[in-house]
Structure 1
Amino acid sequence: MTTDEAYTYTTGLRLDPRSANPDGWRVDWADGPWPVKVYSGARRLPLRPDGPPPLAALHRLLHGGFAVSRIRTDPSGGIAATPADPRPHHGPEVQLRRPVPSGGAMYPTEVYAALTATGQVCHYDPYRHELTVLAGGDAAARLRAALHLPTEAAPAAVLVLTSRFWKNFYKYGDFATRLGLVDAGVALGRAARLARAEWEHAEVRTVFDDEAVHACLGLDGEEENAWAAVTLGPYLPYRADTGGPDAPPRPALLERSRTVRRSDRFTAFQRAAREDTSTAAPARPPEDAVPATAPGPVPGDAGPAAAPGPVHEDAVSAAAPRPVPGDAVPVGPVPLPAPRALDLLAAETAARRFSRGRLFTGAEADGEALAGVLGQAAEALRALAGAGADGPAGWAARTRLYCAVHRVRGVPPGWYRYAHELGALLPVGEGTGPGSARRVQEALFAASFNAELAAFTVHPVTPADWRPAGGPRAYRAQQLAVGAAIEAVTLAAAAEGLSGHAVLGFDVTRIDTAYGLDGGADTDGGTQAQICVGAVRPDPNWEIAVMPR
């Protein structure tokens, strides 16, 4: 697949995901995969708060981001469907949930850890909350070399995030090309956030020797691909770890599904991305985009520092609302109140994160909640922009946050771009006025929840054409940055006591037009995701918390 062919393919996934699969595509619900990757046998390392370093820190990071942390009960089995196959299907009565959102609760992202002190390479088992040892000796050193990390010093550990294709391809088909990347971006955003809190240093890498990384992890590149790595802690001199404990023979991998399908286009795109050697980083962002550097610790992970700087009178007056005739709403910056202090690292915050748009009440949100959600998302993008030199960093710097306000106290309904440096919303496109909620609802391809009853909707926007940044690997990096923005929006919404429901299956052309992104001032810009945020009524079904052993 050439770069232009890959662009045509991925553009179709954004513009009309309903046409991603051929006519007659159907989901074999009875033959779906397990929600976790299952190895049989092998030595296992328990993760506990009182474990040795770095296992104790890995316990906190992995449990806070990837463990099966909740069990949801639904006597009806829920109703599963896809836009291309709308026939209802009753799912299992018991569903496993994790701290991060995932499209269709498929959780295709797998996590591996390279432990510098012991030389071991492990797979994280989210069901048992433990590490399965895959290799020992110098395995960790070989993996770091494959990731193009320095050889003279090493961090305490390195996480590698992969996507196991069948875990969401079985339901979404070719649309899993995009959805799997965004899912991995959500996981990357959470891993980087928790790593910064635990080690005060996290570096993100997405450009590496894919084939060598897969060999170190024992992966078949046609089935599972490594997409990102996160270093945990500063680089320190270390003794060569070739004398670490050897692992037993690589454990057997079990698969529930009798038949694992794949499409030619999906396989061709993944192969092209693996073979692409570009850095995947776009050109320097425009001046009003999120800054590309992160000044030290990330504000907002633990409190009031998340607030944007004060809105200076001269800054606002320079673009003050202009008088307009009649009763029209003035156009110009809409200052937001200072956000509340939000603790996005608290276990209670992650426990409250859920995607329950079908339970939106239509209640009004206050301006502080809107400011907090947008501010935290902007800071997350700023942090990712400063977390490394390759792909996602550049795309995070080029990602802007647009917002459709439906019912927020003190903010007129309408279409806006968020200006973090001003702590304000800038009317764009169709500007202020009623109707944004109805437009967002009508743009959904599958009316599976009440988007119209959300208080506001956040749309991450990037340049739509990723080819100037490189080949298909640039598309990977773009979608990873989009996922990181989704992670921050949904987590901040939970901290505000609201639900953030993210979707990719919507009519982006209608939303782009409302924002004035149809080839106007924001050349080649386009919405990449939609996160509806609002208050929800109590869920009639139980969710039971899972405590680590």
Structure 2
Amino acid sequence: MHHAATAAAATVPGEATRRYLAALRDRGPLTIDRSTAPTRHKRYPGAPRIVLPWPTSPDRTGLSAVGELLRELLGVARLIWFHQVDDTGRPVGGPPVLLLGRPAPSGGALYPIEAYLAVGGPETAGLYHYDPVHHLLERVRDGDHRAALAGIPDVAPAVRPDVVLVLSAVFWRSMFKYGDLGYRLVCQETGVLLAQALAVGERLGMTGEIRLRFADPRLDRLLGLDGRREGALAVLVLELPDGPVRPGRPVDPGDPPPAVPESTPAPRRMPPGGAAAALHEATRNAAPPTREVPGATSPGGAPAAREATEFALPPAPAVRLADGVPYRASPPVGFRPVPLAADTLAAVLAAAAGPYPSDLARDAPATELYLLALRVGGLRPGAYRYDRERRVLCRVAGESAVAGVLGGRLLPNTRIALPGAAAALIPAGDPLAGVPRHGDRWYRMQQIETGLLLQRATLAAAALGLTARIHSDGANETTDRVLGLAGTSRRSLSFLCIGTPRAGGPALARPIPAGPRKGGGHPQITYGRQC
């Protein structure tokens, strides 16, 4: 009876989102059973393989360019020398450890996102899975699937794209540790990787567009995914700098799922009956309703009524986001308390809030940006709303804002990081605003945009010599009260601390050096624990 009532409620647009938000609000301590943790990558052991150049190739065209893009997204590309510390930054003793890391941040270093690629060409046409550990492509289906994948979004591209990249989530990789919160984290991480892909792709001469509106069941079937253990969350269509790829053998979208089996044991599915599983099912089948949903407003929401003081930001220096990719690292024990120049802040905010190519471009932004200023040159400490059109900061709270946020429910590492940071960037939005048009899928779209703007801010900060780290626990009801969001339909969605990296610290990250193995490809590396 309970499951029937839940299923019926989930068919009402917005109800699955409301239930999920309530579950996150009321969640208690989690018991983590690490024996259920899945591997942090998957493989198709019996699939034909294409070994990609490591780390780069002078010929940045075709699959060489695609390989470099994938390596900068998900590749095991960093060595991290790490002295172990606890959540307060204190050494726990023992020898340092050598970890393997990836270019983009991941909640808990769990890496729940997988990448699939559809390419053409008479010899290479196929649907591939990217193996990040061995830096190669595994062909899971023959034939040219680009048109089939690109035709799934509502608005198909005018021409067949050179490459179609699909990002999927293995949900249990995050949910075994974070429970229902893991679903929010994988959606945000998808946005992080989309921002990374656009930045790296621009450096490689690629152009792309993000697609978030597509028929999940059909796309999952093309990829051979069940949609509940692993499901597609985003599509990125790409044009390569060397022009169109010659088409391969076209395929019927009704072809059966891939015959090549993936590695075992398979991860668990999302717990049935849970709030995250119900929300994901609603997003998979969401169709825009024809009536308004109570409580829904415009995506950005109205500005806070108590805004009074405005601060006009200086002109922002030009920043190429890809320049921040090699230097991005999440500081494990906070920041040096060094002031941030106002023009540097302007560049970070402009990068975060700028337009991006997407099938959501016709909609109002799904998020708005708030800033907690601690030490910014010429700017009084306090909380501000960023007006992305005029590029000004509107003051919403005074100097007590930082103390107010610190009075909320924060983890120990956030309490260490925030006082030393120069500023904190806080995306906010109404999780029900887009339901009238997008159904419950709006939640997923909004969280993906949140991750995208956070990563753009992070890359801009890294390119300018700063560092940044996401502290998801900073988005809470106390922060909402400080920002003036309490009592409105909007809420904080995440929390990014930005500042100057410590001169010394417990971690040192370096790229894995080139060293071609016999037969080409990447150097021979023994892969252990990843970070």
| TM-score calculated relative to the size of structure 2 | 0.80
What is the aligned partner in structure 1 of residue 419 from structure 2? 452
Compute the displacement of 1:197 (Å).
Answer: 4.5
**Would the aligned equivalents of 2:301 and 2:429 in 1 still touch at CA under 8 Å?**
no
CA distance in 1, matches of 2:155, 2:317: 39
Say if 1:389 and 1:437 are closer, same or farther in 2 by CA, change over 3 A: same
What is the aligned partner in structure 2 of residue 304 from structure 1? none
Establish whether residue 158 from structure 1 lines up as the match of residue 156 from structure 2. Answer: no
**Would the aligned equivalents of 2:171 and 2:186 in 1 still touch at CA under 8 Å?**
yes
Q: Which of the numbers 436, 440, 450 marks the counterpart of 1:482?
A: 450
Establish whether residue 173 from structure 1 lines up as the match of residue 140 from structure 2. Answer: no
What is the number of equivalent residue pairs in this alignment? 481
**Would the aligned equivalents of 1:359 and 1:539 in 2 still touch at CA under 8 Å?**
no
Q: Which of the numbers 315, 321, 332 marks the counterpart of 1:338?
A: 315
CA distance in 1, matches of 2:317, 2:147: 44
What is the aligned partner in structure 2 of residue 110 from structure 1? 114
C-alpha RMSD of matched pairs (Å):
3.6
What is the aligned partner in structure 1 of residue 388 from structure 2? 420
Establish whether residue 271 from structure 1 lines up as the match of residue 281 from structure 2. Answer: yes
**Would the aligned equivalents of 1:116 and 1:154 in 2 still touch at CA under 8 Å?**
no
Please list the CA deviations of residues 473-498 of structure 1 after superposition, one character each: whole Å capped at 9, or x if unmatched: 11111111111111111111212222
CA distance in 2, matches of 1:11, 1:151: 35
CA distance in 2, matches of 1:166, 1:238: 38
Compute the displacement of 1:167 (Å).
Answer: 1.2
Please list the CA deviations of residues 405-433 of structure 1 after superposition, one character each: whole Å capped at 9, or x if unmatched: 011121100111112343321112x2x3x
What is the aligned partner in structure 2 of residue 223 from structure 1? 229
CA distance in 1, matches of 2:49, 2:449: 33
Compute the displacement of 1:287 (Å).
Answer: 11
Say if 1:286 and 1:511 are closer, same or farther in 2 by CA, change over 3 A: closer
Establish whether residue 69 from structure 1 lines up as the match of residue 36 from structure 2. Answer: no
Report matched runs for 1:221-300 at 5 Å. 221-233=227-239, 239=247, 241-242=249-250, 250-255=259-264, 262-265=271-274, 266-278=276-288
What is the aligned partner in structure 1 of residue 209 from structure 2? 203
What is the aligned partner in structure 2 of residue 323 from structure 1? none
Q: Which of the numbers 330, 342, 357 marks the counterpart of 1:355?
A: 330
Three-state SS of the structure 1 residue aligned to 2:393 is strand
Q: Which amino acid aligns with 2:315?
A: A
Compute the displacement of 1:230 (Å).
Answer: 0.7
Establish whether residue 409 from structure 1 lines up as the match of residue 392 from structure 2. Answer: no
**Would the aligned equivalents of 1:395 and 1:477 in 2 still touch at CA under 8 Å?**
no
Compute the displacement of 1:283 (Å).
Answer: 7.8
Establish whether residue 213 from structure 1 lines up as the match of residue 219 from structure 2. Answer: yes
Three-state SS of the structure 1 residue aligned to 2:165 is strand
**Would the aligned equivalents of 2:125 and 2:247 in 1 still touch at CA under 8 Å?**
no
Q: Which amino acid aligns with 1:464?
A: P
**Would the aligned equivalents of 1:34 and 1:255 in 2 still touch at CA under 8 Å?**
no
**Would the aligned equivalents of 2:431 and 2:446 in 1 still touch at CA under 8 Å?**
no
Say if 1:492 and 1:104 are closer, same or farther in 2 by CA, change over 3 A: same
Three-state SS of the structure 2 residue aligned to 1:207 is coil
CA distance in 1, matches of 2:365, 2:14: 24
Say if 1:92 and 1:443 are closer, same or farther in 2 by CA, change over 3 A: farther
CA distance in 1, matches of 2:473, 2:385: 22
Say if 1:341 and 1:224 are closer, same or farther in 2 by CA, change over 3 A: same
Bigger shift: residues 415-424 or 452-461: 415-424
CA distance in 2, matches of 1:144, 1:341: 33
CA distance in 2, matches of 1:422, 1:151: 32
CA distance in 1, matches of 2:31, 2:377: 44
Compute the displacement of 1:93 (Å).
Answer: 3.8
CA distance in 2, matches of 1:257, 1:198: 35
- Same amino acid, percent of matched pairs: 28
Establish whether residue 500 from structure 1 lines up as the match of residue 468 from structure 2. Answer: yes
Establish whether residue 32 from structure 1 lines up as the match of residue 71 from structure 2. Answer: no
What is the aligned partner in structure 1 of residue 528 from structure 2? none
Bigger shift: residues 153-162 or 142-151: 142-151
Three-state SS of the structure 2 residue aligned to 1:122 is strand
Establish whether residue 533 from structure 1 lines up as the match of residue 498 from structure 2. Answer: yes
CA distance in 1, matches of 2:358, 2:282: 23
CA distance in 2, matches of 1:389, 1:242: 25
CA distance in 1, matches of 2:36, 2:327: 31
CA distance in 1, matches of 2:146, 2:381: 53
Bigger shift: residues 484-493 or 55-64: 55-64
CA distance in 2, matches of 1:152, 1:333: 43
Report matched runs for 1:302-381 at 5 Å. 331-346=308-323, 349-356=324-331, 358-379=333-354
Q: Which amino acid aligns with 2:358?
A: G
What is the aligned partner in structure 2 of residue 461 from structure 1? 428
Compute the displacement of 1:129 (Å).
Answer: 1.9
**Would the aligned equivalents of 1:192 and 1:230 in 2 still touch at CA under 8 Å?**
no
CA distance in 2, matches of 1:230, 1:127: 22
Compute the displacement of 1:460 (Å).
Answer: 0.9
Compute the displacement of 1:442 (Å).
Answer: 3.0
CA distance in 2, matches of 1:341, 1:258: 44
| TM-score calculated relative to the size of structure 1 | 0.78
Q: Which amino acid aligns with 2:135?
A: H
CA distance in 1, matches of 2:438, 2:391: 33
Say if 1:237 and 1:131 are closer, same or farther in 2 by CA, change over 3 A: closer
Please list the CA deviations of residues 209-242 of structure 1 after superposition, one character each: whole Å capped at 9, or x if unmatched: 2222112211121211101101102896965633
Say if 1:378 and 1:7 are closer, same or farther in 2 by CA, change over 3 A: same
What is the aligned partner in structure 1 of residue 27 from structure 2? 20
Q: Which amino acid aligns with 1:536?
A: P
What is the aligned partner in structure 1 of residue 52 from structure 2? 47
Q: Which amino acid aligns with 1:373?
A: V
What is the aligned partner in structure 1 of residue 440 from structure 2? 472
CA distance in 2, matches of 1:406, 1:237: 50
Say if 1:359 and 1:515 are closer, same or farther in 2 by CA, change over 3 A: closer
